[in-house]
Amino acid sequence: MTADVVLRTAEPALHPRWDGLDLLALSLVPRLPRVELFAVLRGAAASEPGQGPAQPGTTEAPLDSAASPIAVPDSLEAVLLEVGCADAAAKAVAAREAAGRALATAHAKRIDHVRWSGANYPPLLAAIFDPPLVLWVRGAIDLLAEPAVAIVGSRAASAYGEETAARLASDLAARGLVIVSGLARGIDAAAHRGALAAAGGRTVAVLGCGPDVAYPPEHAALLEEVVRRGAVVSEFPPGTRPLSYHFPRRNRIISGLSLGVVVVEARQRSGALITADCALEQGRDVCAVPGNVLSERHRGSHTLLKSGAALVETADDVLQAVGLVRREAAASGRERARDPLLALMDTGDSYALDALAASSGCDVAVLLPRLLELELQGFVRRVPGGRFVRSAANVLT
């Protein structure tokens, strides 16, 4: 199953003031209705039939829409009123104060943040229905835009499950993929450690608490290692304690950052299945590792396999499932040098992902695995800032 991700809007059409404090404040207002909120922020009236989301770079409905253009509200109070929030003015004041405190804490702890309206927001995550309005990040922000695979599974994992997760993570990381997981006990921790064990391996931990909070506590050292060699991400501001309802919410971010999700050892009601459901809703690939048919530990994984998830045992299986091709399976250099994507790139010039998407007419979610394939084959290389350069050694004369 190759993912067919539709980018609803790679560049949210927001009023300029949403590049400032108000978007951060909005992210801190609790219990807002997500459907209505994103309909408003994207400049669409979800309640009116025939009107779709705003086109990138506009605040109006598509020209073929039967409804009249809808402007994006230009203030926090206006958005809160639009989504039916009671006491909008008071809640806006409280949210701005909370945002100020969060920024001060983040600055003191050297924690970065990325807004949904920002150019450095992860493109795959921006494609989901309800992306986090703000991501709090410790570590390498640029890593969030690179091709990634999520590995998730049981907290009470067996030795077989942990060994399998670590091996898959290490092999995939050695091939240039970023490994995403949730820093939980069991499979998550094994996936992070496996990625870090690979030469140059990189991993991203998505938390259900603030990025400065180690949960579970025994993973404090692992958390700091991930910060040093990858990134720790949360939609919850610094200092937020782990609460049970935070973790299902964070699962959509794990899948949203990834080309696909690999489930290793999941019981029938495992939280890993929530991540798999999120992946399916987002149009991402879902893979599962088979296990003992007599064990309850694998019941959820086998349910996924029966439902059409890709059966994977090795890193090659995962690469095939998410649409990436191994170097050994690559076409000849002469064939690849005629590749239409490479034809758009002049040797030595660097290209932003958005620019390549615009010139090729391809979605970012399609371009990322394609560029990684070309990178593995030596036809392009990645440079700082998340940009790509065509390699001179693979240009035909």
Is residue 231 located within the same domain as residue 307? yes
**What mean pLDDT comes out for the span 255-271?**
93
Q: Is residue 356 part of a domain?
A: yes
- Do 158 and 286 belong together in one domain? yes
231 within a domain of the structure (yes/no): yes
Q: How confident is the model at residue 14 (pLDDT cuts 50, 70, 90)?
A: low
How would residue 147 be classed by pLDDT, with cut points 50, 70 and 90? very high
> Is residue 93 one of the residues assigned to a domain?
yes
What is the pLDDT confidence band of residue 392, given thresholds at 50, 70 and 90? low
Residues 199 and 334 in one domain: no
- Is 114 within a domain? no
Please tell me whether residues 361 and 241 are part of one structural domain: no
Q: Are 265 and 309 within one domain?
A: yes
CA atoms within 13 A on the CB side of 237: 21
Residues 14 and 44 in one domain: yes
Instruction: Let me know if residue 11 belongs to a domain.
Output: yes
179 in a domain, yes or no? yes
pLDDT at 69 over 70: no
Residues 6+ apart with CB under 8 A from 275: 150, 152, 251, 254, 255, 261, 263
What integer pLDDT is reported at residue 381 of this predicted model?
80
On whether residue 341 sits in a domain, the answer given is yes
Kind of pairing between the strands at 134-139 and 231-234: antiparallel
Is the pLDDT assigned to residue 331 strictly greater than 50?
A: no
Residue 171: pLDDT band (50, 70, 90) is very high
Specify the length of the chain in residues: 397
Tell me what pLDDT residue 340 has: 83
Counted domains in the chain: 3
Q: Does 254 lie in the same domain as 196?
A: yes
For residues 42-67, give the mean pLDDT. 40
Q: Which domain CATH number covers 389? A: 1.10.10.10
Residue 234: which H helix or E strand, with range? strand 231-234
381 CB-near residues (< 8 Å, 6+ apart):
375, 388, 389, 391
The residue from 299, 321, 343 where one domain ends is: 321
Q: What percent of the chain has pLDDT over 90?
A: 58
Of 293, 321, 349, which residue is a domain's last?
A: 321
Work out the average pLDDT over 271-280. 94
pLDDT interval class at 10 (50, 70, 90)? very low
The answer to whether residues 274 and 349 belong to one domain is no
| Same structural domain, 162 and 210 | yes
Element (H, E) at 263: strand 260-264
The CATH number for 183's domain is 3.40.50.450
HSE at residue 46, side-chain half, CA atoms within 13 A, is 13
Same domain membership, residue 148 and residue 169: yes
H runs (alpha helix) in the chain: 21-27, 34-41, 76-82, 88-108, 123-126, 159-174, 187-197, 220-229, 246-256, 271-281, 299-306, 315-321, 333-337, 340-343, 353-360, 364-376
For 334, the domain range is 327-394
* Band of pLDDT at residue 355, cut at 50, 70 and 90: confident
Domain check: are 25 and 90 in the same one?
Answer: yes
- Amino acid 342: pLDDT: 85
Task: Summarize the confidence of residues 82-108 as an average pLDDT.
Answer: 94
- Please list the alpha-helical segments (H only) found in 141-219: 159-174, 187-197
Position 7 pLDDT exceeds 80? no
Same domain, 182 and 269: yes
56 has a pLDDT exceeding 50: no
- Give the residues across from 114 on adjacent strands: 135
Within a domain: 126? no
Q: Which residue has the higher pLDDT, 69 or 111?
A: 111
Confidence of residue 394 (pLDDT cuts 50, 70, 90): very low
Choice among 147-156, 182-191, 292-301 with the minimum mean pLDDT: 292-301
Please confirm whether the linkage preceding 216 is cis (ω < 30° from 0). Answer: yes
Q: Are 282 and 5 in contact (CB under 8 A)?
A: yes
pLDDT of residue 332: 42
pLDDT in tens, 219-258: 999 999 999 999 999 999 999 999 999 999 999 999 999 9
To the nearest whole number, what is the mean pLDDT of the chain?
A: 83
Domain-ending residue, one of 256, 286, 321: 321
What angle separates helix 246-256 from helix 271-281, to the nearest 10 degrees?
A: 50
The 10 Å Cβ neighbour count of residue 296 is: 9
pLDDT in tens, 117-140: 888 899 899 889 899 999 999 999
What gap in Å lies between CA 118 and CA 19, rounded to an integer?
7
pLDDT of residue 155: 93
Torsion of CA 66, 71, 77, 83, to 10 degrees: 20
Q: Is 185 left (phi over 0), alpha (psi -120 to 50) or beta?
A: beta
